[in-house]
Amino acid sequence: MPILDIVKYPDPRLREPTVEVPELTDEVRSLVQDLKDTMFAADGAGIAAIQVGRFERIFLIDGRVATGSEEADAMVFINPEVVETSAATVRSEEGCLSFPGVFVEVQRPRRAKLRAMDLEGNMFEAEGEGLFARAMMHEFDHLTGQLLVDMVGMVKKEVIRRRMKKWHESNPDPTV
């Protein structure tokens, strides 16, 4: 399957509204497979469709993050919604495939529960703590246009902007 190009900050597509998936089609299944292949190739803990320039409300979490099992397949969330989060929070470092080489401290709920549809069209709820909760909330944020850069102060924002400018200068887009 093709490995898709990951959209990098400050590309405006990362802020575009996402749209619900009205039905599971072969195109949606193909997109999910491409997202999975792209996530694994980039060694990501998760990936949202918006990160490859697609606007469907879909994200994946690496099965190892979701379950702790090395054999677990990626978990697919279609049209996810947050059911609840814990009042207790934890601050920890996060990275993002759309911000290569950038890691920032982000405060997130310790526990999160999301409801979504799987690739077979079944509704399910996923509840997790720690890294799994963090990954679900991070990917859900992508579906609402919320990015790592939005969760830091002005000084750190400027550091991230400069680092990403440098990254883009070192990795020119061949399509431009």
> What residues form DSSP beta bridges with 59?
48, 77
Q: What is the mean pLDDT of the segment spanning 14-28? A: 97
The reply to whether 176 falls in a domain is no
Percent of the chain with pLDDT over 70: 97
- What is the per-residue DSSP string for 120-173? TS-EEEEEEEHHHHHHHHHHHHHHTT--GGGGS-HHHHHHHHHHHHHHHHHS--
Just list the catalytic residues: 139
Per-residue model confidence as pLDDT tens digits over 34-58: 999 999 999 999 999 999 999 999 9
Q: Is residue 91 part of a domain?
A: yes
Q: Cα 84 from chain centroid?
A: 19
| pTM exceeds cut of 0.85 | yes
Structural domains counted in the chain = 1
Q: Is 48 within the bounds of a domain? A: yes
Q: What is the structure's pLDDT at 2?
A: 67
The alpha carbons of the chain give a radius of gyration, in whole angstroms, of: 16
Tokens for 116? Answer: 């979504």
> Residue 92 belongs to a domain with what CATH number?
3.90.45.10
